[in-house]
């Protein structure tokens, strides 16, 4: 049975003149093989070597965040969740020296139906393109469990920090989707139906360069649009998205999940989204479905990824603060608040009702809060 020890929320700044920064945990971990890290970043640069940041649990007291080049400030907000039982975490670092990243053999992960992937990456380069794109998948290769990271093309300057989390009381569905150059969205069926109050979606995607300045072609939002469907959508078309690797994680214990969909107008930098109260801020985490912590955006004139890069901060038990640094276009992000300390759902609206695409209410900060 998965038993939570603690969640530590943190915030750290990667200064303009530094390529890496350590963070010292307030409470040391007892066992790094039972702990995992999630984080988001915000930055307004237009160079991937400045805004792509990798992160890792370096040891029981230290987190390390790294990028390839200096030149801009990056704000980082995240969470470390540690368990005493029922969770196994395997982690590693892999360098890309060719278009093929070496597979990682998973020696501690024994059940892929209960495991999900978390990957971050920093890389060289000053223009966002197809070499910024990657996906990740875990699979059984003739009896050996492996993690494979796929790049869209040769990228000799990338460093991937990966975690594979096996959580005993969950089930994981995974698959692959794609979008044609004309599609603004694609629905993907999932079966059997999941409990939306206990499930979250994570995904990775890769694509061609497209129109370099049209960053909106390459930015996706992924969310549940029903108990048997997830939908990936974007604001700008004109580019095919070849690979969307997704995982749907559904908890089977007392853990609860609340989806939050947040819309930003072109000049909005911060949204405070009310949530059903979690049991405690040291028992809950927040993460976005896109594992670069991106949402969709409509920018067409430059490759400032910061319009759709977000930090997710549980400032109180009933508020999720979502923030970005670049206010150069509208954006939307799909996020999830996961309460590991929940025995029963807290007061307020049930997560099952938060957003069901066209079949229910779509929660957004636009207007007065609820829109059909």
Helices (H), 283-340: none
Give the whole-angstrom CA distance, residue 116 versus residue 100: 21
Give the whole-angstrom CA distance, residue 335 versus residue 205: 17
Residue 60 lies in a domain: no
Residue 203 lies in a domain: yes
Give the angle 176-178-179 at the CA atoms, nearest 5°. 160
Residue 67 lies in a domain: no
Give the whole-angstrom CA distance, residue 330 versus residue 348: 29
Residue 112 lies in a domain: yes
The count of domains in the chain is 1
Question: Tell me: the pLDDT tens digits for 274-286?
Answer: 999 999 999 999 9
What pLDDT shows up at residue 358?
Answer: 35
Decide: 65 and 120 in contact? Cβ < 8 Å: no
Is 90 exceeded by the pLDDT of residue 233? yes
Residue 72 lies in a domain: no
Decide: 123 and 191 in contact? Cβ < 8 Å: no
Cα–chain center distance at 280: 22
Give the whole-angstrom CA distance, residue 314 versus residue 324: 15
What is the reported pTM? 0.89
Q: Which residue has the higher pLDDT, 367 or 190?
A: 190
Return the residue matching tokens 């360069």: 209
Provide the residue range defining the domain that includes 303: 86-371
Give the angle 199-110-108 at the CA atoms, nearest 5°. 105
Question: Tell me: the pLDDT tens digits for 122-155?
Answer: 776 656 655 667 778 999 999 999 999 887 665 5
Question: Tell me: the pLDDT tens digits for 50-102?
Answer: 767 899 999 999 999 998 888 889 999 999 999 999 999 999 998 876 667 88
Residue 68 lies in a domain: no
Which is it for the CA torsion 74, 90, 253, 244, positive or negative? Answer: positive
Decide: 310 and 235 in contact? Cβ < 8 Å: no
Question: Tell me: the pLDDT tens digits for 151-164?
Answer: 766 555 688 899 99
- Backbone region of residue 77 per phi and psi (left: phi > 0; alpha: psi in -120 to 50; beta: other values): beta
Residue 211 lies in a domain: yes
Give the whole-angstrom CA distance, residue 90 versus residue 36: 9
Residue 178 lies in a domain: yes
Q: Any residues with CB less than 8 A from the CB of 347 and at least 6 apart, and which?
A: 276, 277
């Amino acid at each position: 049975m998965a038993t939570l020890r603690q969640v530590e929320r943190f915030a750290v700044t990667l200064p303009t003149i530094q390529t890496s920064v350590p963070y010292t945990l307030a409470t040391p971990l007892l066992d790094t093989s039972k702990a995992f890290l999630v984080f988001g970043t915000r930055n307004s640069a237009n160079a991937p070597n400045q805004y792509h940041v990798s992160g890792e649990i370096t040891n029981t007291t230290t987190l390390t965040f790294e990028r390839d080049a200096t030149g801009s400030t990056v704000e980082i907000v995240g969470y470390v969740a540690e368990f005493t039982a029922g969770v196994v975490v395997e982690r590693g670092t892999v360098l890309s020296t060719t278009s093929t990243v070496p597979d990682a053999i998973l020696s501690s992960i024994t059940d892929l139906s209960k495991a999900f992937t978390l990957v971050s990456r920093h890389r060289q380069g000053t223009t966002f393109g197809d070499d910024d794109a990657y996906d990740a998948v875990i699979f059984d290769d003739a009896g050996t469990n492996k993690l494979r990271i796929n790049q869209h093309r040769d990228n000799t300057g990338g460093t991937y920090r990966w975690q594979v989390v096996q959580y005993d009381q969950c089930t994981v569905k995974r698959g692959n989707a794609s979008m044609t150059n004309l599609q603004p969205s694609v629905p993907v069926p999932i079966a059997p139906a999941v409990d939306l109050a206990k499930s979250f979606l994570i995904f990775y995607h890769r694509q061609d360069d497209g129109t370099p300045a049209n960053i909106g072609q390459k930015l996706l939002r992924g969310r549940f649009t029903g108990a048997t469907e997830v939908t990936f959508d974007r604001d700008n078309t004109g580019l095919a998205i070849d690979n969307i690797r997704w995982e749907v994680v559904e908890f089977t214990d007392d853990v609860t999940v609340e989806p939050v969909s947040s819309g930003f107008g072109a000049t909005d930098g911060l949204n405070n989204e009310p949530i059903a109260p979690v049991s405690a801020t040291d028992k809950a985490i927040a993460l976005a479905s896109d594992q670069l912590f991106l949402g969709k955006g409509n920018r067409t004139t430059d490759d400032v990824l910061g319009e759709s890069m977000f930090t997710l901060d549980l400032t109180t038990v009933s508020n999720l603060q979502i923030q970005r640094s670049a206010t150069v276009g509208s954006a939307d992000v799909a996020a999830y608040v996961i309460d590991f300390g929940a025995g029963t759902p807290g007061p307020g609206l049930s997560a099952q009702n938060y957003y069901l695409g066209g079949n229910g209410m779509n929660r957004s900060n636009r207007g007065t809060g609820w829109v059909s």
